[in-house]
Amino acid sequence: MSVTIVDIAKKAQVSVSTVSRVLNNKPDVNKETQDKIRAAIKELNYSPNSVARGLVLKRSNIIGYIASDITNPSFPELARGVVVKAKEYGYSVMFFDAHQDNRVEKEAIQLLRSKQVDGIILSFSGANRDELEKLRSERFPVVQIYRKSSKSTISTIAIDNVGSGYRATQYLLSSGHKRIAHITTGDLTQSGYERMAGYLKALAEAGIEADHHFIQQGISSVESGKVCMERLLDLEKPPTAVFASHDVMAIGAYEAILDRGLTIPGDISVLGHDNIEISRLIRPHLTTIDTFKFKLGQASVDLLIEEMTAHEPQNKEIVFPGELVVRDSVRAL
């Protein structure tokens, strides 16, 4: 059927070992025999079987990537970062979508391992801590993006959520706002929890007491953001500005505000977090915090490669600061 190293050995009238040598650019092989072999390769259109190669080398040059949700708006850029960087190192990427389901995620880990991937990157990974610790105990290279449970010992690429929550709130404060609400996923997600901590810290520093009516908790979706904002608008004294922990919720807030005939930022200022693609397109263009997803994706591969070469768990944590992107949704009072 398909042409193997044996075929081209015959064609070139040499042994398979010699062919293997030129295939892997090993030294000490005669120029002429080299040429003969390369010619045969061309002629028979031969391409090495990485599966067989992987079997003996015990490495696949594949890294596994498990996204907890491929439709997460941050996924594409993150994934592209991973793919691009992996390629630089000569690795291919095998993707899985866990559908936000921990069981599926666990299955994906198993599958990836049976496929002999050389390492795994998990993004937004959920609660499979046991599974991860198991991998770690087997010295299997793993890195996690975003989610760093406090007790985890897995190397992680994270973003400075507390810092960016703080930065966001401070920007609102410095724009003259005092009644600043927060729409958040709260303790439902690590990121929401941390960003809220930043929000509270900034408020505290400014000597403003946090009003629990101003903190609305929901899930990371447009619909939920809208509901949260509606509750805020129903308040007797609504806020003049709102910081949403995730852009999708900010967009939901837009819906609620605009549906009531109010204007942004005229009546209410809105500030998001994540800088997903939509945020620069929606009107008014959303002021938000960029999280450099492409860079994060790349960094996760760098870290994974480190894990792989170190051959023992590094337990590193690299955290990227967010960056405020000023657009049109916040006004100075």
Partner DNA sequence: TTGTACGCGTTATCAC
Partner DNA sequence: GTGATAACGCGTACAA
Binding site for DNA (CB under 7 A): 1-2, 4-6, 13-18, 20-21, 23-24, 27-30, 32-33, 48-49, 52-53, 55-58
| Rounded Cα–Cα distance for residues 296 and 293 (Å) | 5
Cα–Cα distance list, 253 to 187, 210, 265, 277, 330 (Å):
20, 20, 12, 17, 13
The binder of 38, among a copy of itself, DNA, none, by C-beta within 5 to 8 A per type, is: none
Place of tokens 């709102």: 242
| Rounded Cα–Cα distance for residues 276 and 287 (Å) | 11
| Rounded Cα–Cα distance for residues 126 and 197 (Å) | 21
Q: Min. distance of Cβ 201 from a copy of itself in angstroms?
A: 31
* Nearest CB to DNA, comparing residues 20 and 314: 20
64 three-class SS: strand
Q: Min. distance of Cβ 69 from a copy of itself in angstroms?
A: 9
The binder of 23, among DNA, a copy of itself, none, by C-beta within 5 to 8 A per type, is: DNA
The binder of 70, among DNA, a copy of itself, none, by C-beta within 5 to 8 A per type, is: a copy of itself
Write out the E strands in 130-265.
Answer: 142-145, 155-159, 180-184, 215-217, 241-244
Instruction: Evaluate whether 256 touches 268 at the Cβ level (below 8 Å).
Output: no
| Other beta carbons within 10 Å of 151 | 7
* Nearest CB to a copy of itself, comparing residues 12 and 83: 83
- Selected from 14, 66, 93, 289, the binder of a copy of itself by CB under 8 A is 93
The binder of 326, among a copy of itself, DNA, none, by C-beta within 5 to 8 A per type, is: none
When asked if residue 323 is in the footprint of a copy of itself (CB under 8 A), the reply is: no
When asked if residue 7 is in the footprint of a copy of itself (CB under 8 A), the reply is: no
The binder of 160, among a copy of itself, DNA, none, by C-beta within 5 to 8 A per type, is: none
When asked if residue 80 is in the footprint of a copy of itself (CB under 8 A), the reply is: yes
